[in-house]
A = this chain, B = another copy of it.
């Protein structure tokens, strides 16, 4: 149930990619958000400016602040206020802090084609920079309304809980349900927060806030599943890092869980201690097997399912009349479709 399918009437439709590119033109304020983010990198300690600046310079889709901006506009915000810029910047700062801490936890050498902050600056500086950014994020958010502060705290707690579940529970004890719980907490929590804040700052009703939150959360779950799929189907040039990392790290990704559940004997090796001598061959064989397997189809089906829930909730939040959408409303549907198009 993607919007692009609904719209088919014989006239060629723009691709999701084209529609996403158009969506970006509707939020030129993303440059203001980036300036706001950078304005928090102030310190007389050089490393506290340098490490965050390095991570920011690696780029990224900035999908979370884009969501916050688009949601507030789609719900009728007449102008982009300081408040929405603050929370959009705050959410991206939290995301950056978790990238730094994640890279320490996963000992990841590469991020976006470049050495990760962890690889370039080491554990101490990267860990402290993450704390610095988390503090700055709270500094920005604390100026806002009570319900936004509480939602931010809640999202950060869920994020940390999701990452803890990922590392604390052995792969063999995970189920598709627990894998989706991790995706919901570690990834979807900030998507939900971004969409919720867009609704909160436009004084939307509790029902619309709830629908927008559900839209953000479902989109976030779909995004995580799509990331898991791309780790199998994509290549280093596109990913900015080697594929197969979820296999090498025995992550409880939906793909790994579905693969183990499929009964394929090769997947059982994910549950055994890794053997450095044959590990690289195992990852490559696994990728080849998975690319030709029904596991991929199942994961795509799950991504589409959560994207559909996102679509339904977005439609409800925007009033249900899809014929008279604002450009920003259209753009939010384009974000969902673009996410899906990357793997479908």
Question: Chain A interface (Cβ within 8 Å of chain B)?
Answer: 43-48, 97, 101, 104-105, 123-125, 127-128, 130-132, 134-136, 138-139, 141-142, 149-150, 153, 156-157, 160-161, 163-165, 167-168
Q: Which residues of B contact A168 (CB under 8 A)?
A: 45-47, 125
- Offer 21 A-B interface pairs, CB within 8 angstroms, sorted by A: A43-B161, A46-B168, A48-B160, A97-B131, A101-B127, A104-B123, A105-B124, A105-B127, A125-B164, A125-B167, A127-B127, A128-B160, A128-B163, A128-B167, A131-B134, A132-B160, A134-B134, A135-B153, A135-B160, A136-B153, A136-B157
Pick from B142, B164, B167: contact of A153, CB under 8 Å: B142
| A157/B135 in contact, CB under 8 A | yes
Q: Which residues of B contact A44 (CB under 8 A)?
A: 161
Interface of chain A, main secondary structure: helix
Pick from B47, B128, B139, B141: contact of A101, CB under 8 Å: B128
CA distance A125 to B169 in the complex (A): 11
| A123/B135 in contact, CB under 8 A | no
Task: Add 8 more A-B contacts to A46-B168, A138-B138, A142-B142 (CB < 8 A).
Answer: A101-B127, A105-B123, A125-B167, A125-B168, A131-B156, A132-B157, A136-B153, A136-B157
CA distance A127 to B160 in the complex (A): 10
**Which A-B residue pairs are the 5 nearest by beta carbons?**
A139-B153, A138-B138, A135-B156, A105-B124, A45-B161
Pick from B134, B138, B163: contact of A142, CB under 8 Å: B138
Number of copies: 2
Pick from B48, B123, B136, B161: contact of A48, CB under 8 Å: B161
Q: Which residues of B contact A136 (CB under 8 A)?
A: 153, 157
| B164/A48 in contact, CB under 8 A | yes
CA distance A46 to B164 in the complex (A): 9
Q: Which residues of B contact A127 (CB under 8 A)?
A: 101, 104-105, 127
CA distance A47 to B165 in the complex (A): 9
Which interface residue of A46, A138, A165 has the most chain B CB atoms within 10 A?
A138
CA distance A128 to B131 in the complex (A): 11
Smallest CB gap from A155: residue in B: B135
CA distance A297 to B96 in the complex (A): 46
Q: Which residues of B contact A134 (CB under 8 A)?
A: 131, 134-135
Interchain nearest-CB distance for A3 vs B (Å): 36
Q: Which residues of B contact A167 (CB under 8 A)?
A: 124-125, 128
Which interface residue of A48, A101, A127, A165 has the most chain B CB atoms within 10 A?
A127
Q: Which residues of B contact A132 (CB under 8 A)?
A: 157, 160-161
Q: Which residues of B contact A104 (CB under 8 A)?
A: 123, 127
Smallest CB gap from A131: residue in B: B160
CA distance A241 to B288 in the complex (A): 52
| A157/B43 in contact, CB under 8 A | yes
Interchain nearest-CB distance for A163 vs B (Å): 6
| A153/B131 in contact, CB under 8 A | no
Interchain nearest-CB distance for A149 vs B (Å): 5
Q: Which residues of B contact A131 (CB under 8 A)?
A: 97, 101, 130, 134, 156, 160
Smallest CB gap from A105: residue in B: B124
| A45/B128 in contact, CB under 8 A | no
Interchain nearest-CB distance for A315 vs B (Å): 32
Interchain nearest-CB distance for A1 vs B (Å): 32
